[in-house]
Chain A
Amino acid sequence: MTNKYDAIVIGAGHNGLTNAAYLAKAGLKVLVLEKNEYIGGAAVSRELHDGWLYSNCSYVCTLLRQSIHRDLNLSRHGLMIIPIEGNTAFGPDGQYFAEYPDPAMTYREIKRHSPRDASAMFRYEADLTRFAKLIRFFLLRTPPDPTSFKPRDIKELIYMGTKFMEMGEENIYEFMRFLTMSAGDFLDEYFESDLLKASLATASIIGTALGVYSPGTAYVLLHHVMGDVDGSLGTWGLARGGMGAISNAIAGSLKEFGGDIQTCAEVDELLVRDNTTYGVRLAGGEEVYADIVVSNLDPKRTFTRIVNKNDISPELRKKAENFKIRGSSGKLNIALTGKPSFPSFPDDNLLQKGSFMFVDSLESMERAYDDWKHKRWSRTPFVEMTQSSCFDPTLAAPGNYFVSCFIQYCPADVEGGWTEAKRAEFADSVINRISHYSPNFKDLIAHVEVRTPYEIENEVGLTEGNIFQGELTLDQLMFNRPFPGFAQYRGPIKGMYMCGSGTHPGGGVSSACGANSAREILIDLKRNKIDGQDVVPKEHEDA
């Protein structure tokens, strides 16, 4: 095997693979290095129990850009995104709020809790959609540097300004206010039903070490509703075959364009000479050379573990150390040997087959956050349980179920450190919470995979197990992501780039970070621009 490439990408997560695929498509000789024996990073499908395929890290998908799907021929490489429907949020006593595919039914459902809220939902959706559409313009664009006088930055700033102005004066005010608000306060301006608000607020804290009443969480909420499945804004989908199908499809595309992937190849250090990178050294001591090295690792890991401290300024090192990437969520992936019953629903109700959120109320969510602050997992965690196998027949045999539980909050570090026993206690607290609503749940369990932030960090490589590679707060968004001055995917060292979710536009299985980064690299190489990527594809203008 050769050890000289045009470009090396560190980390075979979906963004790393996307980046590599675009580079390979442009004719570069590319190698992706992955520390694990499997690829995918946090978008993986693994058979962790005989007969059950675990989509065990990220578990749903809404932000994957259709233009990238098309560009990289992902359908031909086996990818199919399917919409999921029937989402139920449970209050403590089994009373629930469900979202139905039919808007008229959802209207009636909200009316059951509050006639006023049912009608306010139209106003809420329009306001949120207005903001979501604005942000969507910027997903596939490199953030401008507001301090730069380069024509490109000025042009981009003008574009941004134009899109802002198109919203109209009062909506600009509203948007500025929105960006700094808490989800709780934002929702209070529309709704009175606590269960409805709690259900909507879940999106504002996922992957974020903040509470529903912490300023800045309104934006996180937006980040979760601005995606779409086939143009249906706010809809979530599953990748058939688990989230690993996304990584595998991109890897397939990469290979088709002539790229290589090497697993069990942990990168130890970025090789730098004269402030210019020339490759990487692997944990085993082997060196691989390339003039371009792209890190798909989170910014903290990149600049504190891979990049030698002597190659960057102490200022940047400090920024990396201070980067907010706190772990706040855990996961339980569960193989079930039968259908969990939910006696609060009538038999055969379509909601039985959907996904569930156990939320209680905004207050209990805020209290759950209090536990996190004290380095405890939440006593009443927000649990989102997706019965993935109800939508995707490839995950479990007929009659068997695979369910994915996302749990918030779960700290990266508990008092005295994570131990086997504590992890088991954490798992019990979640299973007990589910069992309150589904009495037969425990009896059906064939196998449980428990992932606290500790496991997510050590297995996937995300610092503190933060699913977004860095929190989505205003100080870490757009031209501040990951750090001011480094938001255009270029590192401080010549030839070094970043392409992970720690860069703009942030977390989620979007592939946008990887594609945006590839575009910047190709601009530097004066290669052909990525097809259709330099301008926002037309459908985003209207989607």
Chain B
Amino acid sequence: MTTTKHANLSASEMATRIIEPPYKVDRPKLKLAHEIDHVQFGLLKTPFYQRAKTFSWTESWGNWNGYANALSFKDPYVEYFSTRNTCGVYDVSAMCKYRIRGKDAEAMLNRMVTRDVSKQGVGKVAYNVWCNDRGRVIDDGTLFRFAEDDFRLYCAEPNLDWLMLSSAGYQDLEIFEESDDIAGLALQGPTSCALLRAMGLGEVENLKPMELNFFPFPIKNPVKNPTNNSAKNSAKKPTGEIMISRTGFTGDLGYELWVKPELALTLWDELFDVGQLYGLMPFGEEALNMARIEAGFILPEVEFHGALHSVKRDYDHSPFELSLDWMVNFNKPHYNGRQALLEEKEKGPKYRLLKLDIEGQKVAEGSIMYSDKACRNEIGYVTSALLSPATKANIAMALIKGDAVDGPLYAEIYYQTELRWHRKVSKGTIRTKPFWSPDRARATPPGNC
């Protein structure tokens, strides 16, 4: 081909005038579409989706790590009450799950998180945060310990990169992602234990909060010749099993149920077969959010901005700023951020996350906080707010400047009445205990309802 500038060549002319390229370049055979594992377009469906969608009247789905996540099913308010009155299920399959195992697993994790992993017994679950060298929180999650040398970390967002970075120098260790290999349902509410027992999972009532165990599954048609009944070892062969942990994000009695994706629909069906008698219904993210605010749980990318995502300096947070002081352990040797956290403890944190009871009935969502009623001196902002259905408190979680936490706190609230916007300034009172923390959430064995 003599492709001249602005030349006008027909396709056939082009074809006949093609010459060999000046250098021979060998290229592998081109892979065709069917030989490539393309990503699926749109939202992915969790293993429970087929069943969950039949409950969805609102057809309202959010995006959680690429999976369709129900924001609500029928009415978030009614769904919320399942976690306080009966029981409800929330699909947690989209959580990120990472396996960390090997002789060095405990040491590696201990260098990464702020709590002491060596104190976490086998069969226990521990809430953890991990920081960068500046002592700023990267993310939070729950660490499950299956054996001396076998852990799984559950977190809301991808963390594989940080886990790999944090393992630098450790040899006897494997870290891999299991996010798509495990389906999970959070079963939360006062009748949850009774429901599990009615399903045939009687031993569940002995699980203490933050404990886990394995049980044969399915229950109605147990797998023949279960490969291994020993709870501790069976983590490696989970087929035909269900892992139950007494954990959750609602602050009430509740369990999280984990199975292989192929058993997900069976789990759903067995739950709902019995569940009708226990007021079981699925609940969506909006209901979950109401429950977790009442319980005082923080949410990544709502209460805190992960340090690795943060572009602006100090727009991330330390555990002290998030009022997670109890999680920062200075009795163990070096870990990520320890030095910076020690210094911060000396100086006092720049912000504190406070639980506030706001006067009046107007929800302080997105409010700027001031130290004076005239709203002249800005001292922070509200991260989450809720008019609590269970306690009737007007709850706000707010990040307040460290030097202002002892003074007066006012929220500047904008609210709408029949489309018209109004403004109101309401006083906030600090609450140190969670707004919702019923005894049944801690009792073992828990009651029936």
Contacts and interface: CB of A to CB of B under 8 A. Distances in A.
Interface of A: 48-49, 92-96, 98, 100, 104-105, 107-109, 112, 115-120, 122-123, 126, 129-130, 133, 166-168, 170-171, 190, 337, 343-347, 349-350, 379-380, 420-421, 423-425, 427-429, 431-433, 436-437, 442-451, 455
Given A119-B161, A168-B313, A445-B14, A344 B36 contact: yes
23 contacts: A49-B6, A94-B35, A94-B36, A112-B37, A112-B39, A119-B159, A122-B161, A168-B313, A343-B32, A346-B33, A379-B23, A379-B25, A420-B2, A421-B2, A423-B3, A424-B2, A424-B19, A428-B21, A431-B1, A442-B15, A444-B11, A447-B8, A450-B5
Contact of B177 (A115, A123, A449): A115
Given A109-B39, A379-B23, A450-B3, A445 B9 contact: yes
Nearest to B64: A104
A104 B162 contact: no
Contact of B25 (A344, A380, A449): A380
Interface string B17-35: 0110111010111111101
Contacts of A349: 33, 38
A133 B25 CA distance: 41
A108 B30 contact: no
A168 B389 CA distance: 43
B308 interface: yes
Contact of A346 (B38, B66, B314): B38
Given A92-B27, A423-B3, A424-B4, A447 B311 contact: no
Contact of A95 (B5, B36, B164): B36
Contacts of A117: 161
Interface residues of B, number: 54
A93 B161 contact: no
A424 B11 contact: no
Contacts of A449: 5-6
Nearest to A455: B5
Contacts of A433: 25
A480 B254 CA distance: 64
A120 B162 CA distance: 8
Contacts of A122: 158, 161, 306, 308-309
B7 interface: yes
B118 interface: no
Which interface residue of A168, A428, A449 has the most chain B CB atoms within 10 A?
Answer: A428
Contacts of B314: 168
B439 to A, nearest CB: 40
Contact of B1 (A116, A424, A437): A424
Interface of B: 1-11, 14-15, 18-19, 21-23, 25, 27-33, 35-41, 43-44, 63, 65-66, 133-134, 158-162, 164, 177, 306, 308-311, 313-314
Given A108-B39, A447-B7, A447-B9, A167 B313 contact: yes
Contacts of B162: 119, 123
Which interface residue of A104, A346, A423 has the most chain B CB atoms within 10 A?
Answer: A104
A123 B308 CA distance: 5
Contacts of B1: 424, 427-428, 431
B66 A425 contact: no
A451 B7 CA distance: 12
Per DSSP, chain A at the interface is helix
B309 A126 contact: yes
Contacts of A448: 3, 7, 9
Contacts of A444: 11
A444 B15 CA distance: 10
Given A120-B161, A126-B310, A379-B25, A96 B36 contact: yes
Nearest to B19: A428
Contact of B19 (A100, A190, A425, A445): A425
Contact of B8 (A49, A105, A424, A450): A49
Contact of A93 (B4, B19, B31): B31
A166 B313 CA distance: 7
Contact of B22 (A94, A123, A429): A429
B14 A425 contact: no
8 smallest A-B Cβ distances: which pairs?
A: A104-B66, A119-B158, A120-B161, A119-B161, A94-B31, A427-B3, A379-B23, A94-B30
Given A104-B63, A105-B66, A442-B18, A92 B28 contact: yes
A114 to B, nearest CB: 9
A455 B35 CA distance: 41
A18 B134 CA distance: 45
Given A93-B31, A126-B311, A116 B161 contact: yes
A95 B32 CA distance: 9
Nearest to A450: B3
Contacts of B8: 49, 447
Nearest to A439: B30
Given A345-B33, A427-B1, 20 more contacts: A100-B39, A104-B63, A108-B66, A115-B177, A118-B158, A119-B159, A122-B309, A123-B161, A130-B311, A168-B313, A190-B161, A420-B4, A424-B2, A431-B1, A431-B3, A433-B25, A442-B11, A447-B6, A447-B9, A449-B5
A17 B28 CA distance: 48
A98 to B, nearest CB: 8
A96 B63 CA distance: 25
A349 B32 CA distance: 13
A251 to B, nearest CB: 24
A425 B41 contact: no
Contacts of B37: 112
A425 B27 CA distance: 18
B11 A104 contact: no
A347 B36 CA distance: 13
Nearest to A443: B11
A437 B30 contact: yes
Nearest to A350: B41
Contacts of B29: 93
A347 B27 CA distance: 23
A48 B4 CA distance: 13
Contacts of A49: 6, 8
Contacts of B2: 420-421, 424
A133 B8 CA distance: 46
A446 B11 contact: yes
Contacts of A171: 313
Nearest to A133: B311
A350 B40 CA distance: 12
Nearest to A364: B25
B95 to A, nearest CB: 14
Contacts of B21: 379, 425, 428-429, 432
Contacts of A424: 1-4, 19
Contacts of B25: 379-380, 432-433
A337 B9 CA distance: 12
Contacts of A427: 1, 3
A48 B5 CA distance: 10
B97 to A, nearest CB: 12
